[in-house]
Amino acid sequence: MHNILVTGSKGQLGSEIRELSVEYQDVFYFTDRNELDITNKDAVDGFCIQNNIEVIINCAAYTAVDKAEEDEANADRINHLAVKSLAEISKEKNIKLIHISTDYVFDGENYKPYVEDDKVNPNGIYGKTKLDGELALQEIDPNNTIIIRTSWVYSSFGANFVKTMLRLGKERDALGVIFDQVGTPTYARDLANTILEIIPQLNNDNVEIYHYSNEGVCSWYDFAKTIFELSNTDCKVSPIETKEYPTPATRPHYSLLNKSKIKKEYNIAIPYWKDSLDTCLIKMQERK
């Protein structure tokens, strides 16, 4: 049994971990920025001492990709400097640390699924600050620490692409969705399950990086089409190019992650993205 701190617990991944936590014997402490400011090292240090924290799952992040382009200081504070503090606390107190990162550390110019040691080259501020967090963590190098990079996260909790498509599908007869960005959606509940399964197995001297998304590949256009098909939403989807939908931040055109390492080392099975999407849509209906 562990005392586990989950930061950013009101986000998609944190919310899924909270719901799944009832199945575990561990003691969980779920915090968000109002309860524990992870950019305040003394506050985090005191919280860990007071509650005898043995594992930290860092789900907290500055994820507003476009806003980060003009708000670099805050993105850096949360995605980089706070992670550095968590790493220092983990090393000093021998706390296991699971840190969530992103496919945005890559430039999206690859032609085959990214493996963990492929060259990193972020396109924008969000990716840069997330990479700086990874590098700080690796430099401090606490034991029993892993970084999990993921992509295209959605859930029945929070705001995400699936919920946006369901809303727009009801409001409009037709939509244009980008087809020249490809990757794999990640159902946050699947990732949450994997994290909780991994915790007892953590036993590494150096920081290890893993990739996790659901299985398969699609474009945002394919993703939207499938959302409408599975939810019986009558909305026509047309493919558009990225250049027809300009945004302040550049998105990676290619975000496929190779999951072989995490599957092999932790003996986990990863569901196919369409199956997980169907499960999530059912969950959303149940919540209504």
Burial class from Cβ neighbours inside 10 Å (0-12, 13-18, 19+) for residue 43 reads middle
Distance CA 66, CA 194 (A): 29
C-alpha 108/C-alpha 106 separation (Å) is: 6
Give the pair of three-digit tokens for residue 193.
């399950």
Rounded to whole angstroms, the Cα distance separating 252 from 249 reads 10
Instruction: State CA 138 to chain mean position distance.
Output: 19
* DSSP type of residue 113: P
Are 87 and 145 contacting, i.e. CB atoms less than 8 angstroms apart?
Answer: yes
Greatest Cα pair distance, the chain, in angstroms, is 57
Task: Quote the CA–CA distance of 162 and 282 in Å, as a whole number.
Answer: 12
Cβ neighbours, 10 Å, residue 267: 9
Residues with catalytic function: 126
